[in-house]
Amino acid sequence: MIALLVRDMRLAVRAGGGFGLGLAFFLIVCILVPFSVGPQSQLLASIAPGVLWLGALLACLLSLDRVFALDFEDGSLDLLASAPLPMEGVVSMKALTHWLTTGLPLVVAAPALGILLSLPTQGFMWLFLSLLLGTPALSVIGTFGAALTVGLKRGGLLLSILVLPLYVPTLIFGAELARRGAAGMDTQTPLLMLAGITFATIALLPIASSAVIRINLR
């Protein structure tokens, strides 16, 4: 399974792997926001946590269709299914690769973009923490959506329709955690809920994803 992770990371960073595209998208969205709502720092500061969370979520979503599509097209997925790896492990590794190539760069870049959006000082730590805790859930849930649409020719739009409702709880608790942190309010409940959602999805959702992949391969 480590071999699969190494291979996928290698593919992601080599030419054509699409590494960094999600990050660039995130950057552009966050820069466009002041153009659309106006440059007042007061307003930007109050919407910054939500905008950064939404931007991160959309950036994750955009790269999801690549999670299984390439392996499906070149036959690797068939071969992996008949290899001595548990399918649950394969989908978990795929989600981890997605997080390392898309989620983690977003987490690291978000504080820098927080400056552009006038995020209050005490909010940076909470923004970073909320994204660090929440983006793995986005990758795991997204992998489930990608597994559902793997065999479809034009699955991209369907993938968004399937995955976005599933993102609602993560978005609510994640953005709430960042917002409350920035406003200096109590953060315990959203912190625990976000952590709970993330760990529960990491533990349970790969079972559903692997079942779905096996159904789609047959």
- Which residues sit at the interface with another protein, rule CB under 8 A? 2-4, 6-7, 10-11, 14-17, 71, 73-85, 144, 148-149, 152, 155, 158, 161-162, 164-166, 168-169, 172-173, 176, 189-190, 193, 197, 205, 208, 211-212, 215-218
Q: How far is the CB of 5 from another protein (least distance, A)?
A: 11
CA distance 208 to 210: 6
Which is nearer to another protein, 111 or 151 (by Cβ)?
151
Annotate 54-79 with b (16+ C-beta within 10 A) or e (fewer): bbbbbbbbbbbbbbbbbbbeeeebee
Q: Please identify, using beta-carbon distances, which residue of 38 and 165 lies nearer to another protein.
A: 165
Q: In the complex with another protein, which residue's Cβ is closer, 22 or 155?
A: 155
Report in angstroms how near the CB of residue 148 gets to another protein at its nearest.
Answer: 6
The residue (of 95 and 113) whose beta carbon lies closer to another protein is 95
> In the complex, what is the shortest distance from the CB of residue 169 to another protein, in angstroms, rounded to a whole number?
4
For another protein, the closer CB: 85 or 100: 85
User: Which residue in the block uniquely carries the two structure tokens 């976005």?
Assistant: 164
Smallest gap from residue 203 Cβ to another protein (A):
13
The contacts of residue 140 (CB under 8 Å, 6+ apart) are 92, 95, 198, 201, 202, 205, 206
Minimum distance from residue 115 beta carbon to another protein (Å): 27
